[in-house]
Amino acid sequence: MATALLSGTAASAVTDGSAPRVRIHGGRVDVPVRGGTATVDTTTLRTEARTGDGRVVLLSAAAASRLGRASAPARTADGAGWSYPETGLRAEVRADSGRLLLTLTATGADTSVRWPVTAADPAAAAIQFPRGEGLSVPVDDPFWNSPDGALVGEPQELNSQLTMPVWGYTLRGGRAGAGYIVPTDIGTSLTFASQDGRLRATAEHGFAAGDATGAYTVALSLTDGSPVAPAADYRDWLAEHGQLGSLAEKIRENPRTAKLLGAFHAYAWGGARRPAYLDALKTLGVSRLWLGYDSDDAPMTGADVRAAEAAGYLAGPYDSFADGQRKTEDSSPNTIWPDDVYPRFCVLRADGTPQPGFRGKGCYLSSQAFEQAEPNRHYLADRTRSLVANGAGSYFLDVDAAGELFRDHDPGHAMTMAGDRANRLARMRRLTDGSYDASGRPLVLGSESAGSWANQVLAFDHGAATPVDGRLWAMETGHFDNRPQDPKDDDAWGGYMPEQAAATFFRPVRTTDFKPEHRARVAAALKAMYDPRYRVPLYETALHGSLVNAERWELSFGKLPEQKTTRALLAMLSNTPLTFVLSDKDPHDAQNLRELVALQQYFAPLHQAAGTEALTSFRWLSDDHLVQRTVFGDGTLTVTANFGTTAHDGLPGGCVDAALRGRPGTQRLCPADVVS
């Protein structure tokens, strides 16, 4: 099966120069959309679209929550509107750049709605959703319908647990589908259900005046059946609304950003931060590298940073503005603040208690409190300046772009989640425009698991490429069957010793390293995260060329040996860097360096050529979805990866071919030949 990307930006639904118009007939409203006409049943919000060739696509089944009796729809200036007096909701629809745009507004007490209900069409074949980079899950797949898939019944917040407020589904035959964009993502979640062995996904929005979530907007589209079509439409949406960042523009504004092109990412411990180790990396052939380090008692010095710069690398500290706690022997330096920032800046919950911080320690700090203090007390600027006084040109700010937003009930620094997001964007922008640096230097900024809303302010992120399964936290923390405060019941992942090569980051772990009673859960989690049959590049389709996306930093390339070949192929296919951890105290250091050198040398010219380009096509070349192809730009780079075990059209199993426009032939990489 082969699928092609949507071509071009969404066109108007009419061609005579007039605005698209809706039609009201009885309790139904017809809206012209790209590729056909959508019809909304105002009594239930059931929405279907008829394509130009006569096919019918169910955009949504009836709402899964009570709406009450609908008033008669009436024409508005650009569409139609009606209300549900019993539930205090007002609905409006209109055509928008080839999409059906429906907005529900709460006019009374706080309430919620469960709509749209998607993939309920009997002809639905697969659901696409952006968990990390992205997944396309067959609706009748036994794994994902079962408890092993850990998908059914767990609401996923659009603003935090999914990397973009987007999802979609495709019909059998791959010739049509539907896509959904929710610009009002705060307060909205997506939940999967299994009915008769088939998946469907339902969005739910909570209308709450105190949370400023009183309006709920969904843009519904017909698609051409490509599994990445919803993400392509979202890229268009971002561009149409002035919300799509450009990595090329970021490079023009701060030329140091160009060092990300072709670079793998690594965190350094111990002697790996020092000039001798960095010189050795350069001698081995590592041409580009982003190098991060903890702000501990032995950070990179000015001499270390100069050595990194001389090698062509970017170096930057890890920091976080999120947590505060009292100083103890085991508290992280990033959680310690001057004056009475802790506990005065703590986010307060509705019951007046502080929002517990990471792993229950201290509290999460209010971005609003920092914003209010910053004109007089430069806590964030002072922290930043102290950490880049060594000349570091980059900065990794944990959590800020990850989307875990808070409502603060403290009357001294009250904020909504939307206000929290705005504050985070503002302070991240100050890091990139030089406001937080004593000499006005802009910093090459990265953050954790970046939601798409942060794409304009970030140059890179760590984590949005990883489709995190909830069982990963049990693997990492060692708490499968007991409470976090209890002793670990499985230490396979490892802890924070030895200090300069902590086992949690450096110890390779295989499924069989876990206790027998935990192995099935580990295997299922890794299948959900890395089985290439389910992976599709949704995030890269929307945002490649806007920022550089990588996996979570605690999931270094060496951490999961059984997934090395797959992860290397996925990285090359999506034109995204691999992440490593480096330490001269690591017993696997020589092996790590061999793999880093070989893989980075293959990756560098591909990313330098296409890192600023859009991902313009994704196709499955085999029925089992194990042979995949991507294209970047207008053919700048074409990558074909074979995740299978048998050759396909001359490409051996477990290998990838890359073709750069203007260069003869293809470059081949078979990761199994260079990793162990």
Residues 304, 252: Cα–Cα separation, whole Å: 26
Residues 576, 60: Cα–Cα separation, whole Å: 34
Do residues 169 and 128 touch, judged by C-beta distance below 8 A?
Answer: yes
pLDDT in tens, 299-314: 999 999 999 999 999 9
Measuring CA to CA, which residue among 184, 202, 217 is closest to residue 104?
217
Q: Is the pTM of this model over 0.85?
A: yes
Percent of the chain exceeding pLDDT 90 equals: 92
Which H or E run contains 281?
helix 275-284
Do residues 493 and 478 touch, judged by C-beta distance below 8 A?
Answer: yes
The amino acid at 240 = E
Do residues 151 and 524 touch, judged by C-beta distance below 8 A?
Answer: no
pLDDT in tens, 100-135: 999 999 999 999 999 999 999 999 999 999 999 999
Residue 19: pLDDT band with limits 50, 70, 90: low
Measuring CA to CA, which residue among 403, 467, 619 is closest to residue 129?
467
Which runs of consecutive H residues, i.e. helices, occur in 341-470? 341-344, 367-373, 379-387, 417-433
Residue 3: pLDDT band with limits 50, 70, 90: very low
* Total number of residues shown for the chain: 676
Residues 635, 637: Cα–Cα separation, whole Å: 5
Residue 664: pLDDT band with limits 50, 70, 90: very high
φ/ψ of 158, rounded to 5, equals -65, -30
Strand 627-632 to 637-642 pairing: antiparallel
Phi-psi region of 171 (alpha: psi -120 to 50; beta: other; left: phi over 0): beta
Q: What is the mean pLDDT of residues 437-444?
A: 91
Q: What is the pLDDT of residue 548?
A: 98
Which H or E run contains 227?
none
Which H or E run contains 67?
none
13: pLDDT strictly greater than 70: no
Of the candidate ranges 160-164, 433-437, 446-450, 572-576, the one whose mean pLDDT is the lowest: 433-437
CB neighbourhood size of 426 (10 A): 15
DSSP annotation string for 9-55: SPPPS-SSSSPP--EEETTEEEEEETTEEEEEETTT--EEEEETTS-
Q: What is the pLDDT of residue 20?
A: 67
Strand 177-181 to 135-138 pairing: unpaired
Strand arrangement, sheet containing 667-669 = 615-620, 627-632, 637-642, 655-660, 667-669
Helix (H, G, I), strand (E, B) or coil at 73: coil
Do residues 441 and 393 touch, judged by C-beta distance below 8 A?
Answer: yes
Strand 47-51 to 56-60 pairing: antiparallel
1: pLDDT strictly greater than 90: no
477: pLDDT strictly greater than 80: yes
Residue 43: pLDDT band with limits 50, 70, 90: very high
Q: What is the mean pLDDT of residues 3-16?
A: 35
Helix (H, G, I), strand (E, B) or coil at 181: strand
The amino acid at 21 = R
Q: What is the mean pLDDT of residues 82-94?
A: 98
Provide, for the chain, the percentages of residues in helix, strand and coil under a 3-state DSSP scheme, each rounded to the nearest 5: 25, 30, 45
Do residues 568 and 603 touch, judged by C-beta distance below 8 A?
Answer: no
570: pLDDT strictly greater than 80: yes
Residues 398, 373: Cα–Cα separation, whole Å: 21
**Unique residue bearing structure tokens 């019944």:** 153
Q: What is the pLDDT of residue 295?
A: 81
pLDDT in tens, 222-243: 999 999 999 999 999 999 999 9
Of the candidate ranges 431-440, 532-541, 562-571, 609-618, the one whose mean pLDDT is the lowest: 431-440
Residue 21: pLDDT band with limits 50, 70, 90: confident
**Unique residue bearing structure tokens 């085991």:** 330
Residues 356, 353: Cα–Cα separation, whole Å: 9
Could you tell me the two tokens for 538? 């949704």
18: pLDDT strictly greater than 70: no
Could you tell me the two tokens for 432? 């990139």
Residues 431, 319: Cα–Cα separation, whole Å: 12
CB neighbourhood size of 241 (10 A): 10
Residues 169, 647: Cα–Cα separation, whole Å: 30
The amino acid at 120 = A
Q: What is the mean pLDDT of residues 61-71?
A: 98
Residue 12: pLDDT band with limits 50, 70, 90: very low
Residue 6: pLDDT band with limits 50, 70, 90: very low
Could you tell me the two tokens for 420? 């929290």
For the chain, first and last CA: distance in Å? 33
Percent of the chain exceeding pLDDT 70 equals: 97
The amino acid at 112 = S
pLDDT in tens, 271-290: 999 999 999 999 999 999 99
Of the candidate ranges 18-27, 623-632, 667-676, the one whose mean pLDDT is the lowest: 18-27
174: pLDDT strictly greater than 90: no
**Unique residue bearing structure tokens 């999506």:** 574
Instruction: Indicate the DSSP class of residue 147.
Output: G
Strand arrangement, sheet containing 264-269 = 548-550, 460-462, 444-448, 394-398, 314-320, 289-293, 264-269, 579-583
Q: What is the pLDDT of residue 329?
A: 82
Helix (H, G, I), strand (E, B) or coil at 105: strand
Which runs of consecutive H residues, i.e. helices, occur in 24-155? 142-145
Helix (H, G, I), strand (E, B) or coil at 269: strand
CB neighbourhood size of 631 (10 A): 21
